[in-house]
Chains A and B, each alone.
Chain A
Amino acid sequence: MLNLLTRAIMMSTPLLLGALAEVYAERTGMMICAIEGIFLIGAWGGFVGAYLSGSLALGLLAAVAAGIAMALVYAFVTVTLRQQQVVTGTALNILAVGVCAFFQRVLFGVPTTPLQIDTLPKLPVPLLSRIPLLGEIFFQQNILTYLAYILIPISIFVLYKTSLGLTIRSTGENPVAVDVAGINVNRVRFLTVLAAGGFGGLAGSFYTVGYLGMFTTSIIGGRGWIAFAICFLGNWSPKGAVLGTLAFGLADAISVYFRTGTTVFPTELIIALPYILTIVLTIFRSNFQVPAKLGVPYSKEN
């Protein structure tokens, strides 16, 4: 059980990073529907960077760069050219699979043994890791998990207590007012999407650099979309994203726990529960705070 919770925290790391990125972007009115592709290209970028340079740090850097590159295309088409976000995201998610598989082959050919890289080492935090129970669950993780811990308070602070956060929130609620205040709406959206792409890429690299040490195009397997869902489930707030991540993480851990042996117990129900919860909350929660201009391109002319 203890192992299970440690694993749940570990597997929640990329989801939280992705969900926080999505929260920020959606607060400016931009759904990042390409998040699945950004995760994938981040995973690949991290793998290639680490493999070619032999340095995990450079791998993580490459993952961030890859995520930003994909977000750049997404932002150009959706913000600058004002095209449909859902559709652009769909296209980019498909493109990401092709790009990764194709250039993986270009770079490495068909290797006889699967290419491997070292993974991020576990870094037990001095003192804290020796707390019984909690220490093992929370403080014997890798550096990306600690980064996620630190990002929780920072993201709450920036979004609610700084003028940057105010700008971001207003851009999704009332872009006209932001425009009148002399702030370039589309620049705010563009830059937020780029930043979110960087964090999304980092989140994706968790699967290669932080966990498996290898790359396949099915490595993300819909987890980008889970981060997307967590953003909705968490009511577009960083705090909610943390709770949402725990809900999805726990459901995942519990279903693994029950899967030992052949059981008729519907573990699928537990995996589906967070999705059902998201649907139910979407329908019945009266204070569901969808950013007013979510998914709506902004143009001064209308």
Chain B
Amino acid sequence: MRKKVNVLLYNTGAVAVGLLISACLLLFMDVNPAEVCAQTLSKIVTDKYNLGEVLVKATPLIFTSLAFAFTYKANLFNIGAQGQFLMGSIVAVSLSLALQDTVPTALLLLLVLVGSFAAGAAVGGLIGAAKAKFSANEFLVSMMSTYVVTNFMDYLLRTSLQETKAEYMQTDAISAGAYLPNILPGTRVHLGFLLAVAAAVLVWVLLSKTSLGFQIRAVGRNPFSAELGGIRASRIYIIAFLISGGLAGLAGLTEINGVQHMLLRDFNASIGSYGIGIAILANGNPIGCIFASILFGFLNIMGTTMGRLPGLSIPASIIELIEGIVMICVIISYALRGYMENRSEKQRMRKAGV
């Protein structure tokens, strides 16, 4: 428990330091950071739509960060969440376009949910199988898989999935009958956000309260002793990657049926890598992923809002600057925490006369 409080304390501190550094960088633009921040914040807080956007941006990030966090618990690196998300999106848009006028909304969304999970899980499962059967480097295979899926998507967007006008590399828009229902009138927040939160809770239960979760964590700690304890590590590799890929795939459902309503080139090109940063910020804790994703969603909206402030010409890419600095601060805080905990441990031992 003390350790958990410690993590939270250090993380919050690191985020605060990161934000402070970013604010100071605003001085380069010859503006008053405090004033700009106050102005931006009041624009976000007083506008219901903007507040909603925070949750809209956070939704897919919850899924991709869960995807990374899940395999991370098994000491595996799934850095191909982007590819699994795109595969989920391809299936989501195909199913929606094919069935939207024949199947009732609830059933359609259920089918898309299963389909996009399965699509992501298929990509993830292949990576897990390569790791389990051939002890291939899962980091490398998952990374390369993203490029293969991206090119596959580009091909589909140019051929069988291309819009009827055949002008741009994008699909037709899905009809309103296939939309995820809105849950907050006056915003774009959709059911997908609740799904994401539910997924995070489920993942938490799975990892910390079930025997499968125990096996995954055991393999993550030490695959050899896990094997001695009767856990087949290769089976765990495949299962962990299946679930991780499926989680990333679900972001396809929320982005296609909840936000964009069509698939296009360079679709949400960086949520995979943000997922990694967020999972680390949350220290791999599924519940923490929810809050860290919301923080990133908030930073995202803050950057856009700042970029739109009249007469200041702050570039919108200040988002990347802030988020990058915050991430580095958090990573450094982990090192600091490790060092401090190590030191207090040593002191305790010295006192005990060991």
Interface residues of A (CB under 8 A from B): 73, 77, 81-84, 86-88, 90-99, 101-106, 109-110, 217, 222, 225, 229, 232, 264, 266, 268-269, 271-272, 275-276, 278-279, 282-284, 290, 295
If A82-B335, A95-B320, A102-B318 are given as contacts, then 8 extra A-B residue pairs at C-beta distance below 8 Å, sorted by A number, are A77-B332, A86-B276, A91-B331, A94-B324, A95-B321, A95-B324, A98-B321, A290-B137
Chain B contacts for A86, CB-based, 8 A: 77, 79, 139, 276
Asked if B242 lies at the interface with its beta carbon under 8 angstroms from chain A, I say no
Interface residues of B (CB under 8 A from A): 25, 28-29, 77, 79, 130, 134, 136-137, 139-141, 143-145, 147-148, 151-152, 154-155, 158-159, 270, 273-274, 276-277, 280, 313-315, 317-325, 327-328, 331-332, 334-335
* Residue contact B140 to A232, C-beta cutoff 8 Å: yes
Within the complex, the shortest CB–CB distance from B221 to chain A, in Å, comes to 15
With A91-B331, A94-B273, A94-B277 known as contacts, the answer to whether A102 contacts B317 (CB < 8 A) is: yes
In-complex Cβ contact of A90 among B137, B159, B273 (8 A)? B273
* Residue contact A268 to B324, C-beta cutoff 8 Å: no
Within the complex, the shortest CB–CB distance from B84 to chain A, in Å, comes to 15
* Residue contact B140 to A87, C-beta cutoff 8 Å: no
* Residue contact B334 to A83, C-beta cutoff 8 Å: yes
In the complex, the chain B residue whose C-beta lies closest to that of A95 is B324
10 residue pairs bridging A and B, Cβ less than 8 Å apart: A83-B331, A87-B331, A94-B274, A106-B29, A217-B317, A222-B147, A278-B140, A279-B148, A282-B136, A283-B141
* Residue contact B324 to A98, C-beta cutoff 8 Å: yes
In the complex, the chain A residue whose C-beta lies closest to that of B272 is A90
* Residue contact B318 to A98, C-beta cutoff 8 Å: yes
In-complex Cβ contact of A91 among B79, B143, B318, B324 (8 A)? B324
Complex Cα distance A284/B134, Å?
A: 7
In the complex, the chain B residue whose C-beta lies closest to that of A99 is B321
Chain A contacts for B313, CB-based, 8 A: 105, 109-110
* Residue contact B139 to A105, C-beta cutoff 8 Å: no
* Residue contact B134 to A95, C-beta cutoff 8 Å: no
Complex Cα distance A97/B269, Å?
A: 14
* Residue contact B144 to A269, C-beta cutoff 8 Å: no
* Residue contact A91 to B322, C-beta cutoff 8 Å: no
Chain A contacts for B28, CB-based, 8 A: 102-103, 106
Complex Cα distance A93/B130, Å?
A: 28
Complex Cα distance A82/B342, Å?
A: 14
With A268-B154, A275-B147 known as contacts, the answer to whether A95 contacts B315 (CB < 8 A) is: no
Chain A contacts for B140, CB-based, 8 A: 232, 278-279, 282
* Residue contact B317 to A282, C-beta cutoff 8 Å: no
* Residue contact B324 to A283, C-beta cutoff 8 Å: no
Chain A contacts for B155, CB-based, 8 A: 266, 268-269
Complex Cα distance A83/B327, Å?
A: 12
Within the complex, the shortest CB–CB distance from A215 to chain B, in Å, comes to 13
Within the complex, the shortest CB–CB distance from B348 to chain A, in Å, comes to 18
* Residue contact B321 to A90, C-beta cutoff 8 Å: no
In-complex Cβ contact of B151 among A73, A81, A96, A272 (8 A)? A272
In the complex, the chain A residue whose C-beta lies closest to that of B126 is A279
Highest count of chain B CB atoms <10 Å: which of A97, A229, A266, A283: A283
With A83-B331, A279-B148, A282-B141 known as contacts, the answer to whether A98 contacts B322 (CB < 8 A) is: yes
* Residue contact A97 to B327, C-beta cutoff 8 Å: no
Sort A-B residue pairs by CB-CB distance and give the 4 closest, nearest first.
A95-B324, A98-B321, A98-B320, A101-B317
Within the complex, the shortest CB–CB distance from A261 to chain B, in Å, comes to 13
* Residue contact A94 to B29, C-beta cutoff 8 Å: no
Within the complex, the shortest CB–CB distance from B37 to chain A, in Å, comes to 16
In the complex, the chain A residue whose C-beta lies closest to that of B149 is A272
* Residue contact A101 to B332, C-beta cutoff 8 Å: no
Within the complex, the shortest CB–CB distance from B12 to chain A, in Å, comes to 18
In the complex, the chain A residue whose C-beta lies closest to that of B131 is A283
Chain A contacts for B144, CB-based, 8 A: 229, 275-276, 278-279, 282
Complex Cα distance A38/B139, Å?
A: 20
* Residue contact A92 to B320, C-beta cutoff 8 Å: no
Complex Cα distance A93/B273, Å?
A: 9
In the complex, the chain B residue whose C-beta lies closest to that of A262 is B158
Chain B contacts for A96, CB-based, 8 A: 324
Chain A contacts for B136, CB-based, 8 A: 282-283
Within the complex, the shortest CB–CB distance from A78 to chain B, in Å, comes to 9
In-complex Cβ contact of A84 among B134, B158, B280 (8 A)? B280
